[in-house]
Amino acid sequence: MSADAVMTVEAFLAKLGRLAEQALSRYGFSPDATATLINYSENATYLVEDPVQGKQSILRIHRRGYHNEAAIRSELQWIDALRKEEGVITAAPIPASDGTLIQRLANDELPEPRHAVMFTYLTGREPSEDDLLGPFERLGAVSAHMHRHSRNWRLPNGFIRQRWDHHGALGALSIWGHWQNGMGMTPAYLKLFERLSETIRKRLDAFGTGPQRFGLVHADIRLANLLVEGEATKVIDFDDSGFSWFLYDIGTALSFIEHRPDVPDLVDAWIRGYRKVAPLTVEEEAEIPTFIMMRRLLLVAWIGSHHETNLARGLGVAYTAGTADLADAYLAKFS
C-alpha cells in the first residue's frame, strides 16, 4: 500500500502543498512565490503567484497511477496542435528551467515520484448555471473545432491516451472504477443499471466507431473547464482527453446537471453551436441521449471511487438515485 493511501486527505494535501511550493524553484520563480490549491479531484491544481515577478501560472500535480509520462506528453502535444492549427484557446505548458515540460516531484514526505506540469494562466470566468443557453452554444462550437482537428490530425509517433469506449467507461476495464460500487447502490439499482449499461453497449455497437464518429476528444468539456471572456471561449484541463465517440463530449458537457428540466434546450443550443463549425447528422443527433446516460453512469462510478473528494461527497447517494430516475426514462424510449 502506498503512503498516500494511509493518511487522511487533509494530511495528504498539506504534504502535497509543500511539495508544490518546493517545485517552484524549478521554474525560476522567486522565493516569495506561492502555490495555492484551487482544485483536487483526479489531480491537484495550484494557482502559482509570484509578487516579485508579477506572474501567475497554474501547476498541475498528477495523481499517481492514472497517466504515465508518455500519456501526459501526448496530451501536451494535442494541446499544442489545437492552439496552433485550429485556434482553440487553451493553456500552454511552460517548460521548467531544464527545458522539459514534465517534471517528476518527490521529497522526504512524499518519496514516491509524481508527475507535474506548469501551464500559463488564462483569464476569464466560468459560465454561470443561471443562464446556460449561450455557454452551451459556445461549448458546441468549440467542441466542433476540436473534433474537426481530431478528424484531420495525424497522431505523432508514440501518442497514447486512454479509450473511453464502453469497455473503458462502463465495462470490465472501468477507468474510473465500477458503477456497481457507486454510493447508495441497492439490488434494484444494480439490476436497473445493468440493463442500462447493456442497452448503451448495444446502441454504441450499432452506432459504430468510424473515423467521422470516433476519435480524440476532450472527454471532460463541462462548464468547469470552460472560461469565457468577451467573445473568446477558452478550454482548460485536457487530463481526461482520449479516444471516444465525438458525441461523448456533449455527455460530459452535461455532467452533474443531466436532471435539469432545461436539458433539451441545452442540447439544442449545443447542436446549434456545433453546426456552425462542423456537420452533425440527424442520426447522430438522435443518439445524443445515449451519450448523456453513458456519462451519467460513468459518474456514478467516479463518485464511488472518489468518495474522498468534496465533489463526490456533495453528490453522494442522491446522484445514484437520480440516475435511476433518468435510466427509467431512457430505457422506456431506447431499450
How would you write 184-230 as a 3-class SS string?
Answer: CCCHHHHHHHHHHHHHHHHHHHHHCCCCCCEEEECCCCCHHHEEEEC
| Each residue's pLDDT tens digit, 136-163 | 999 999 999 999 999 999 999 999 999 9
117 has pLDDT over 50:
yes
Average pLDDT, the chain: 95
How far apart are the C-alpha atoms of 260 and 249, rounded to whole Å?
18
The predicted model gives 280-299 an average pLDDT of: 98
How far apart are the C-alpha atoms of 312 and 319, rounded to whole Å?
9
For the entire predicted model, the pTM comes to 0.94
Q: CA of 162: how far to CAs of 84, 169, 181, in Å?
A: 23, 10, 22
11 has pLDDT over 50:
yes
2 has pLDDT over 70:
no
> Model confidence at 310, in pLDDT bands (50, 70, 90)?
confident
| Each residue's pLDDT tens digit, 23-41 | 999 999 999 999 999 999 8
Question: Which part of the chain has CATH 3.30.200.20?
Answer: 3-120
Per-residue pLDDT at 335: 86
| Each residue's pLDDT tens digit, 196-232 | 999 999 999 999 999 999 999 999 999 889 999 999 9
Per-residue pLDDT at 1: 36
Helix extents (H) in the chain: 9-23, 69-81, 133-152, 166-169, 187-207, 248-253, 263-275, 282-286, 288-305, 310-334
Q: Which residue has the cell 465517440?
A: 245
Q: Looking at domain 3-120, which of 3.40.190.80, 3.50.50.60, 3.20.20.120, 3.30.200.20 is its CATH number?
A: 3.30.200.20
Helix extents (H) in 112-170: 133-152, 166-169
Question: Which part of the chain has CATH 3.90.1200.10?
Answer: 133-334
| Fold assignment, 133-334 | Aminoglycoside 3'-phosphotransferase; Chain: A, domain 2 (3.90.1200)
Per-residue pLDDT at 199: 98
Is residue 324 within 8 A of residue 185, CB to CB? The reply is no
